[in-house]
Amino acid sequence: MSKKSDVQNTSQLVDRFGRRVEYVRLSVTDRCDFRCVYCMAEEMQFLPRSDVLSLEELYQVASAFVELGVNKIRLTGGEPLVRKGILTLIERLGKLPAELLITTNGSQLPVMAKDLKRLGVDRLNISLDSLQADKFKRLTRTGKLDKVLAGIDAAIAAGFERIKLNAVVLKGRNDDEVIDLVDYACSKGLDITFIEEMPLGAITEHDRAEAYCSSDELHEIISQQYELLPSTEKTGGPSRYYRMPDSGSRVGFISPHSHNFCSECNRVRMTVEGRLLLCLGNEHSMDIRQVLREHPNDPQVLQQHLIQAMDLKPEEHTFSLDDEPQIVRFMNMTGG
Ligand code: SAM
Ligand code: SF4
């Protein structure tokens, strides 16, 4: 077994409800080459560079978390692979004794997949909402399906195992493609997770309540074609997984609306501005950028703040489809 999969959960980061934080998601940029309709507005104002954590600051945060017992780091964004110099950060993070994961839209994988594997990235999640080029374009506004499919093939060729596809399904937009997406995942030997849309940031492109497609509806659609066997496997995430008898692929559901997963939450997120978010669905946070900039190169002070921040982690999130979004930040700021 590798040093990374041997890592036990001995995290010193424990919240008021006894939950141990062992998983950190770092948003490394708010920028992206796509403008997915559920994630961003068409016209986005991105942050000035000085507001964003530097690559060195991101490394210091990641290594402080690992020192405290975190065993899983995920880079996300925005599109993490469009951050300038990202490979130099990945090279350093790949040497830490923690699993290194990336969530990506796949557009840069045709050129980067091999390097990511070489530099120590353990696993990839790749977003894919449609297999039809025109629909893919409408959902991502600027994305090109053929590039993403080539990226998925490049990741497989580079030797990544257990690649997972992520699909956000919107009623009347891509809910007719659920089976096609599962077929595609099976044909490539990939897992696939369907995510319920979350009310992060105000969008006008569609009405989120109208577009809402529950995991239960999707489970029902897939069950008509495939036998879904509940898996007891713990993935350390909010996905509920199902196996299929004739396939190595798994189907997962992330259901922030219909199945609350807060009691098992083991994660925190760092926004691109260095705000440590204790919960995706609440604003409880600590300004870690200020700590980093007031106490440069002081890992002790940084670690003390991370430990203190655990007291801010709320018991659960409070998403509602009926109200105005309570969360004003977009997913690209947050690190989905
Ligand atoms: N750009 C990368 C990507 O698309 O995979 C990483 C960042 S993206 C914000 C991470 C994941 O969040 C993607 O799978 C995306 O589909 C999902 N996502 C974005 N906005 C969402 C929303 N409002 N509700 C649910 N999932 C969302
Ligand atoms: Fe970009 Fe990912 Fe958001 Fe789509 S979901 S706009 S690819 S950050």
Instruction: Give, for ligand 1, the residue of 200, 331, 333 to mutate: max count of ligand atoms closer than 8 Å to Cβ.
Output: 331
State if residue 198 touches ligand 1 by the CB under 6 angstroms criterion. Answer: yes
CA of 297 relative to ligand 1 center, distance in Å? 32
State if residue 331 touches ligand 1 by the CB under 6 angstroms criterion. Answer: yes
Within 6 A (CB) of ligand 2 lie 32, 34-36, 39-40, 77-79, 105, 127, 331-332
Spatial CA neighbour of 265 closest among 315, 221, 299: 315
CA of 125 relative to ligand 1 center, distance in Å? 10
Q: Cα separation of 126 and 107, whole Å?
A: 9
How much is the pLDDT for 198? 81
How much is the pLDDT for 150? 98
Mean of pLDDT values over 267-289: 89
Taking CA atoms only, the protein residue closest to ligand 2 atom 8 is 78
Instruction: Give, for ligand 1, the residue of 36, 124, 333 to mutate: max count of ligand atoms closer than 8 Å to Cβ.
Output: 36
> What is the chain's length?
336
Q: Is the pLDDT of residue 336 over 60?
A: no
Mean pLDDT of the chain: 89
In ligand 1, the atom with minimum distance to the C-alpha of 27 is 7
State if residue 11 touches ligand 1 by the CB under 6 angstroms criterion. Answer: no
Q: Which residues pair with 73 in a beta bridge?
A: 24, 100
Domain count, the chain: 1
State if residue 104 touches ligand 1 by the CB under 6 angstroms criterion. Answer: yes
Q: What torsion do the CA atoms of 181, 186, 27, 214 make, to the nearest 10 degrees?
A: 50
The β-bridge relationship of strands 23-27 and 267-270 is parallel
Instruction: Say if CB 274 and CB 260 are below 8 A apart.
Output: no
**250-260 confidence digits (pLDDT tens):** 999 988 776 66
CA of 1 relative to ligand 1 center, distance in Å? 31
How much is the pLDDT for 6? 52
Q: Is the pLDDT of residue 14 over 60?
A: yes
**Residue 17, phi-psi category: left (phi > 0), alpha (psi -120 to 50), beta (remainder):** alpha
CA of 128 relative to ligand 2 center, distance in Å? 10
How much is the pLDDT for 263? 81
pTM (predicted TM-score):
0.92
Q: Cα separation of 2 and 6, whole Å?
A: 6
Q: Is the pLDDT of residue 100 over 70?
A: yes
H or E element in which residue 57 lies = helix 55-67
Domain extent for 69? 3-334
Spatial CA neighbour of 129 closest among 65, 197, 217, 202: 197
How much is the pLDDT for 315? 83
Taking CA atoms only, the protein residue closest to ligand 2 atom 3 is 39
Q: Which of 165-169, 245-249, 321-325 has the lowest mean pLDDT?
A: 321-325
How much is the pLDDT for 202? 66
Coil/strand/helix, residue 260: coil
Taking CA atoms only, the protein residue closest to ligand 1 atom 12 is 336
Mean of pLDDT values over 308-336: 66
Sorting pLDDT into bands at 50, 70 and 90, what band is 1?
very low
Q: Is the pLDDT of residue 99 over 70?
A: yes
Q: Cα separation of 153 and 276, whole Å?
A: 34
Q: Which residues pair with 166 in a beta bridge?
A: 127, 193
Instruction: Say if CB 78 and CB 40 are below 8 A apart.
Output: no
CATH number of the domain at 160, please: 3.20.20.70
**130-182 confidence digits (pLDDT tens):** 999 999 999 999 999 999 999 999 999 999 999 999 999 999 999 999 999 99
Q: Is the pLDDT of residue 329 over 60?
A: no
